[in-house]
Structure formats: C-alpha cells, structure tokens
Amino acid sequence: MGKSYVITSGKGGVGKTTSSANIGTALAMLGKKVCLLDLDIGLRNLDVVLGLDNRIMYDIVDVATGRAKLAQALVKDKRFDDLLYLLPAAQNADKSALNQDQVVEIVDELKPDFDYILIDCPAGIEQGFMNAIAGADSAIIVTTPEISAVRDADRVVGLLEQHPLQESPHLIINRIRQHMMKDGSVMDVDEITHHLGVELLGIIIDDDAVISTSNHGEPIVLQPDNPAGQGYRDIARRLEGESVPLMELKDETQPSFWKKIGNWFKKG
Amino acid sequence: MQDPAVLKGTKDGYEIILDDNAKVDDIFVSLHHLLDNLRTQTASANPQTIAFDIYTGMRLWSADDRSEIEKIFANYDYFSVHKITSDVITKEESNRILEQESVHIVDRIIRNGQEVHVQGDVLFLGKVHEGGKLLVSGNVYVLGDVRGVIQAGTPDFEDKMIIGDVHNAQQVRIGEQFEILDDTNRKIDNSTVIYVNDLHVLDYGKVEALKQINPKFFNQIGGVMNG
C-alpha cells in the first residue's frame, strides 16, 4: 500500500513542479514505484518537466469523469522501466472540473499499485489546493528563502493544521543562494525551519542547471554531480527512512587564495 | 395566602416580586389584579410612566414567559417593565461569565492568515506570525513572540490593556484605537503597558505605573491602593 504526498507551497514559482518531478525521479532511481499526479489543471507542466508531454492520451479529468480508465491515462516514463508514471492534468478545463471525492477515489485506486503517489498542487489556496490535500497522507511544503514565500508557506501550514493530514508536514527550502544566506541578506535554513515549526526534509541549492535540464525534459537528479540533484536524491532517501546529513553550504563569496591569484592572472 | 405578585417600594423605584413557588398562570392573574388596582390608585390629571423592576427569586423565567409579562404591561398606558432579575442564571450564561472573567492561557502558533478570538483575558505564551491576528475581548499579557496583529478590548472596550513585549508586532489595537508600530518610535520591552488614555489615544506606560494608568484594574488584581 503506497503513501501519498502533496507537494504544495501557496506561492507560485517556488519550485513545486520541479520538486515533484525530481523527488519522483529520485525515488524511482531507488527502485520505488512512483506515480506523479498533476493537479495544476489548466496550466499543466509536470509532463513538460519530465519530457513526457508528447505521450499524453488522456488526462485526470477524463479519468474522473469516466471518459477513460486510470490505466489508459497513466503515462509511463521509459527511462525507468515500469517505475515512474504520470497522471497528467487537463489543459482545457479549470480547477473546478475536479472535486475532492474524485481525487480521493483516484489516489485510493493508485495506492495498491505504487509505493509513492506525489500530488503536484497548484499555486494558491482555493479549490485546487483543497483537492490536492484531500488525497494526501502527508504534505511536503516547498518554500524559498524569500520572505514572501515563507509567509505563504506559513499560511499553508496554518491551513494544513485546520485540515490535518495523517502525518505532520515536511519542509523543503528551495533555491538557496549560498552567498546570500552566508552574508545574512536572506533568512537562513535554521531561521526558516524554526519560524515555520515544520520538520525539515531537505534543502536545494540554486543552480542554473535545474532550469536548463528541465528545458530538455530531464530532471536534475539524473546528473550525478549536480548539488541540486544531490539535494533531491537526499530527500528521496530521507523519505525512505534513511538518515542523511544535511548538505553543507559553501561560502562562495570568499574565493580561495589560489583562485584569487588565478583571477589576478585572468584580469591581466 | 399571599398574592403571587407583590409590589414593593425600593430606593430605586418600584419592584414587583413574583413568588417563585406559585404557578405561572396564577402569577399572571395576580399581576393583572395588581396592575388594575394600581391604575385606579394612581389615576391623576397628569400621570407619569412608572417603570417596574421585576424580581423572580429562584425561578428563571423563559423568554416566552418574559414576553408574556411584557405583554401584560403593554395593556397599561403608564406602566412598563424596566428589567427582570432573578437570583439564578442558566449554565450557558454562567459559562459565558466564567469565560469572560478568567485568564486564558494561549500557547500556540497563530500563523499568517489565522485569526484567534478569545473572550476574557489572555496570557499569551505562543507566537503570532506576521499576518496572524490575536483578538481578545479582555486584557492581554504577552510572554510570547508577537509579530502580527494583537488587539485587546475587542471590539470596542477601551479600558483594556496590552502588557508585555510586543515590539515586533505589526499593529497593536485596543478597542477601536490602533497603532502601526513601524510608524512610531516607542521603546517597548517586557514591562510596557499599552492602554488608551483619557484623550482616547493609545499610550505607553510601565508596569510600575499601573496604579496611575488603570486604578480599577490595579485594585482588581489585588494591589494595595493606599499601601
């Protein structure tokens, strides 16, 4: 029997979809069977990030309204034989096209066949959010070190307290710029975690490759040396119950002695 | 046998005592008699309206029966009911009073977008995050961390106070008065008292000066006035 997680943030653009794709892929790399559910109806893009957009036949609204069977609508990611599936969102419908009961029904139908069901929640706290949390056993809240994202995360934690899930929520701090955190111009990891009072699941260091790889439909976790990919792989292992130490932030603002000399030569 | 409805003069006016052991119907009949008699006795050239206090002893009258009493009075031009009192209250009412009078300990995180309403006084040990609101009808004693909005005397009681360190708060409100702390240069620490002064403006004082700021409250908590 699988477990369902909703990946949510309140604020848009903090990396919910990227996190969903990468955590899902990382879990599949660990040999787990994963189904990703895109609930961002009308603005689907989890399929794009995974490079599966050309394989969609049916979507979640088709399944909910009985136009298609669940098995027909699931899109398989061929890179992980039989481990990673996606149930895409509908494009030509809005968020009221689904209700909470339908989401619960779909998740319950998926649970026996999968180890993890990851629900990609739309931004906002309206119907789409309520649908997404209805089907979830636990929540992963994504935030960035920006105040506005932390505020919205705080709001979402509050809403989750009003509609408690089986398990208390987890936190991912995304898009960490190490030098800004080091020099104190943004809240640091401890501050954010302490402020929100939510258990920290992992941190993701900001990296240009996250965007460039997702443009190719290839999640960053597939890159063995990338720090952001490492962050997502750590998160997957923590979800599996391993205790993985938190990644250390490096201080980029202070280049080493030899680098300084190197730069000096470059300038000349 | 004594009449179930008896008239008595008090220093505040007239009181009609309704026997708490008599049948309600008997009381109504007796009340009619009493008022009839009174009308003939008080008939004069320029009659004045008399408002009666009604005392019901150990019986709690239902809302229906109360309106029945008022209906009886409505038949007489110059008589009216001032108030109906008794020695007993409902459990609901007593709970309400209890809630209003006691100090509630609130130890939770009030997050962005959440509003917590409390009747009575609050000892606040938790956190109010930015965008959260703690709205209290009584006084608030703050030992926790307030970074949102805190209001004492909700909705419009200006005799309430906020005591404690709220220097991180976005707004402090008492009754209908408010202040955006960013706009002020107040020194606030854990011995600060925020209150509404005689000019109906928020003011800041020290706990040591509580006796001057709010003597009534000072008495209530057991301070020695002339000590």
Do B67 and B112 share a domain, yes or no? no
Report the alpha-carbon angle A232-A238-A239, nearest 5: 90
Phi, psi at B14, each rounded to 5°: -110, 140
> Do the Cβ atoms of A25 and A229 come closer than 8 Å?
no
Do B204 and B110 share a domain, yes or no? yes
What pLDDT was estimated at residue A93?
A: 82
Strand partners, B121: B103
Number of domains in chain A: 1
Do B80 and B144 share a domain, yes or no? no
Choose the mutation target among A148, A195, A198 for the interface with B, i.e. most B CBs under 10 Å.
A195
State how far residue A224 is from chain B, nearest Cα, in angstroms: 38
Choose the mutation target among B112, B115, B127 for the interface with A, i.e. most A CBs under 10 Å.
B112
Q: What is the pLDDT of residues B90-139, one digit of tens each?
A: 999 899 888 888 899 999 999 999 999 999 999 999 999 999 999 999 99
Q: Is B130 on the interface with A (CB under 8 A)?
A: yes
Which H or E run contains B42? helix B24-42
For residue A72 the two structure tokens come to 């027909």
The B79-85 sheet, strands edge to edge: B5-10, B13-18, B50-55, B79-85
Q: How many CA atoms lie within 13 A of B58 on its CB side?
A: 2
Segment A151-161 mean pLDDT: 95
Answer yes or no: is B227 within a domain. Answer: no
Do B118 and B211 share a domain, yes or no? yes
d(CA B212, CA B195): 12
Q: What is the pLDDT of residues B126-159, one digit of tens each?
A: 999 999 999 999 999 999 999 999 999 999 999 9
Place of tokens 């007796």: B30
Give A255's pLDDT tier (boundaries 50, 70, 90).
low
CATH of the domain at B113: 2.160.20.70
Segment B18-27 mean pLDDT: 89
> Do the Cβ atoms of A73 and A64 come closer than 8 Å?
no
Are B111 and A152 inside 8 Å of each other by CB?
no
- Residues in chain B within 8 Å Cβ distance of A152: 112
Within 176-215 of A, beta carbons closer than 8 Å to B belong to 195, 197
Q: How many angstroms from the chain centroid is the CA of residue B38?
A: 35
| Ramachandran category for residue B126: left, alpha or beta (phi over 0 → left; psi -120 to 50 → alpha) | beta
Give B223's pLDDT tier (boundaries 50, 70, 90).
low
What pLDDT was estimated at residue B215?
A: 85
3-state secondary structure of B180: strand
- Residues in chain A within 8 Å Cβ distance of B133: none
Strand partners, B84: B54
Is the model's pLDDT at A265 over the cut of 80? Answer: no
3-state secondary structure of B81: strand
> Do the Cβ atoms of B143 and B125 come closer than 8 Å?
yes
Do B199 and B114 share a domain, yes or no? yes
Q: State which residues form the domain around A67.
A: 3-267
d(CA A227, CA A137): 29
For residue B162, what are the CA distances in angstroms to B152, B156, B202, B212, B214? 6, 14, 11, 16, 12
The B171-174 sheet, strands edge to edge: B115-118, B133-136, B149-152, B171-174, B177-180
Segment A204-212 mean pLDDT: 93
d(CA B51, CA A182): 76
Do B83 and B188 share a domain, yes or no? no
The dihedral through the CA atoms of A9, A11, A14, A20 has a sign that is positive
Q: Interface pTM (ipTM) of the complex?
A: 0.77
Do B108 and B216 share a domain, yes or no? yes
Place of tokens 């309520």: A130
Do B55 and B161 share a domain, yes or no? no
CATH of the domain at A119: 3.40.50.300
The B202-206 sheet, strands edge to edge: B103-106, B121-124, B140-142, B162-164, B192-196, B202-206
Answer yes or no: is B98 within a domain. Answer: no
Amino acid found at A238: R
Give B42's pLDDT tier (boundaries 50, 70, 90).
confident
Q: How many residues does chain B have?
A: 227
Do B145 and B214 share a domain, yes or no? yes
Phi, psi at A136, each rounded to 5°: -100, 145
Do B22 and B131 share a domain, yes or no? no
What pLDDT was estimated at residue B226?
A: 46
Q: Which residues contact B221 (CB under 8 A, 6 or more apart)?
A: none
Strand partners, B6: B17
Answer yes or no: is B97 within a domain. Answer: no
Q: State which residues form the domain around B144.
A: 103-220
> Do the Cβ atoms of A116 and A239 come closer than 8 Å?
yes
Q: Is B129 on the interface with A (CB under 8 A)?
A: yes
- Residues in chain B within 8 Å Cβ distance of A194: none
Do B144 and B51 share a domain, yes or no? no
What pLDDT was estimated at residue A256?
A: 65
pLDDT over 70 for what percent of chain A?
94
Q: Which residue has the higher pLDDT, B99 or B42?
A: B99
Within 50-69 of A, beta carbons closer than 8 Å to B belong to none
For residue B18, what are the CA distances in angstroms to B7, B9, B54, B169? 9, 14, 7, 54
Domain boundary among B36, B56, B88: B88
Q: What is the pLDDT of residues B51-67, one digit of tens each?
A: 899 999 999 888 898 89
Place of tokens 């150990």: B58
Domain boundary among B31, B55, B88: B88
> Do the Cβ atoms of A140 and A14 come closer than 8 Å?
no
Segment A137-151 mean pLDDT: 96
Q: What is the pLDDT of residues B153-191, one digit of tens each?
A: 999 999 999 999 999 999 999 999 999 998 888 889 989
Number of domains in chain B: 2
Across chain A, what does the average pLDDT equal? 92
Do B83 and B126 share a domain, yes or no? no
